[in-house]
A and B are shown apart, each in its own frame.
Chain A
């Protein structure tokens, strides 16, 4: 029997990890991920999670130790945030290239400098090219569900890719919600024990993480070809999970009131909650606005974005990040997909939430208004900062 618990996002992660029963956990504390690894250590201590808990001395070692364990066929978990993610970044393509299905929680937090501890997406979006599947969660329940789905997706023989489950620091990691905790037996039925041929084996010795000077290209073509099949596995697992636990997330992308929308706003993570409320309000006022909750950044939901973009007159992308010298990273991704359409909708990139700057309902309404005006033919700045404290002179 599932039960309701009142937990923070970090605690929801820990509960999900306990249910997923990894063999090895390696983690190094970094705010705001800490509560997750503290709770997991509690579970190991009280015996409710039978796992090896490695106290590593850095994030680089956290990922490296997880890789060593994955290399012998163990199910692994690690967690990080911000500077820690970048510190381990060397090991991310290492893991994905070796095709180890490590699952990691990343508490989205901005990057120094200047220092600011609150949430934006600069950390994880800087790692888009690392070969990891990236999912972004809207609330603690989704985070718990996605940790469980992550193992099922990553370990699927068709996938064999590591997965980063992103949740916004503090906004999700440290706020409390009622969360439905699935029963262990149900989880066990959903998530079979991990077995793989991609491991070192005492009975039939293997090498992993080797050099392939002549065939490097082919190995990565294979990785790319496999990654292209991942969206269908994600949809499949989402259905399976929904059938079992009653919560469906619409796979790669959730479209909220997009069917007849004139303009849509694309969001990632917890800010989607605010945008949902604004869409409801504006719909009541008669505005045909919709919301695109981009759940996965890798693999990128190309088909879904094309479909949406072909139906709307303007599309806005809210980036809680910026690739300095160009534009928001999500925008670049959406844009390159939209460019495939013969006639593409108008586009605005809203840069907001940097360093955890608030994105209010009013700010969100402002974005929709800009999009509606763009759809009516007004000229708009392509890249706009949202809720900046003072004016900027572009």
Chain B
């Protein structure tokens, strides 16, 4: 159990609880799960809906979680977590965590109803959305968290469309609007910040939600060794942000003095390589509007 906050590699246990999985080399999602599991420890119940992480770690007889774990129905991560928690509570179990790891589609699209229900009940569960911005497991189709201009297999960029035509759903604030006890955004590009947030979620007596950006080299189209770097650049260029929602207040955790080059970040990825200057302007405009709101309304 995480009694004090884990914020660095030194405090992080050497033990691995998510190991020997078949994720692609350099998978950002698997790093997000691995680190969370190290913070949460051996007395953890894990539920994962259909996504890359369940597809690579529950291949009987090769089971990668050394803690209790199960695959949940795609739409029902929140409900399964609630059920586990209610069952464990009713049976008098003590000193454990219940965590779910759903992807962007599993959270913002098909799983949003069950997630909303779980937050509404306030069960002591941790819901982690690892966001790689498309349905990667099924072959890179557009999800509700696919950003504008991203070319996916169902939002192909072409002569008429720039790829996806909508901005990401604002899951963090949708979740916060439930008046959840604790919610945070994170990125595997800032692993220490992410560890701290998982630790805080572990100490939360009610429902908590962590939305972690988890770059996917296969789906985004960048060299596999740059997974963590891409997660960092997304934050540095202002397209993602590190924030928390606690006691009804939004707080920005990292305020870049100035943004790094948005164009550089985008052009490193095959999914954005087609973008025109006009598309760049759309993305920049959206980014700046978002940051204006953050500046005006959040504690920064």
Contacts and interface: CB of A to CB of B under 8 A. Distances in A.
B45 interface: yes
How many chain B residues sit at the interface, stated as a range, is 35 or more
Contacts of B276: none
Contacts of A201: 68
B67 interface: yes
Given A68-B72, A91-B73, 6 more contacts: A26-B86, A57-B117, A58-B114, A68-B47, A68-B86, A69-B90
B69 interface: yes
Contact of A68 (B58, B79, B91): B79
A90 B116 CA distance: 20
Given A55-B121, A61-B117, A208-B70, A23 B91 contact: yes
A224 interface: no
Interface of A: 23-24, 26, 51-52, 54-58, 60-62, 64-74, 76, 90-91, 94, 200-202, 205-215
B93 interface: yes
B289 interface: no
Interface in B65-112: 65-73, 75-76, 78-91, 93, 96
B114 A64 contact: yes
Contacts of A69: 83-84, 86-87, 90
A210 B90 CA distance: 24
B43 interface: yes
Contacts of B54: 211
Contact of A71 (B66, B83, B90, B117): B83
Contacts of B75: 60, 64, 90
Given A56-B117, A65-B79, A211 B71 contact: yes
B59 interface: yes
A61 B96 CA distance: 23
A60 B76 contact: yes
A211 B90 contact: no
Contacts of A214: 60
Given A57-B117, A61-B117, A68 B84 contact: yes
A202 B84 contact: no
User: Most B CB atoms within 10 A — which of A67, A94, A214?
Assistant: A67
A172 to B, nearest CB: 28
B280 interface: no
Contacts of A55: 117, 120-121
B69 A64 contact: no
Contact of B80 (A58, A67, A207, A215): A67
Interface string B185-218: 0000000000000000000000000000000000
Question: Helix, strand, loop or mixed for chain A's interface?
Answer: mixed
Nearest to B60: A212
B93 A64 contact: no
The 10 closest A-B pairs by CB, nearest first: A68-B83, A69-B87, A57-B117, A64-B76, A74-B87, A61-B79, A200-B68, A65-B83, A23-B90, A64-B79
Contacts of B45: 72, 200
Contacts of B117: 55-58, 61
A213 B90 CA distance: 34
Nearest to B45: A200
A201 B42 CA distance: 11
Contacts of A57: 79, 113-114, 116-117, 120
A210 B71 contact: yes
A14 B22 CA distance: 47
A207 B70 contact: yes
Interface string B37-68: 00000110101000000110011100101111
A202 B80 contact: no
Nearest to B48: A209
A55 B123 CA distance: 11
18 contacts: A54-B121, A64-B76, A65-B76, A65-B83, A67-B72, A69-B86, A70-B83, A72-B68, A72-B93, A74-B87, A76-B87, A202-B43, A202-B93, A205-B42, A205-B65, A207-B65, A207-B69, A211-B71
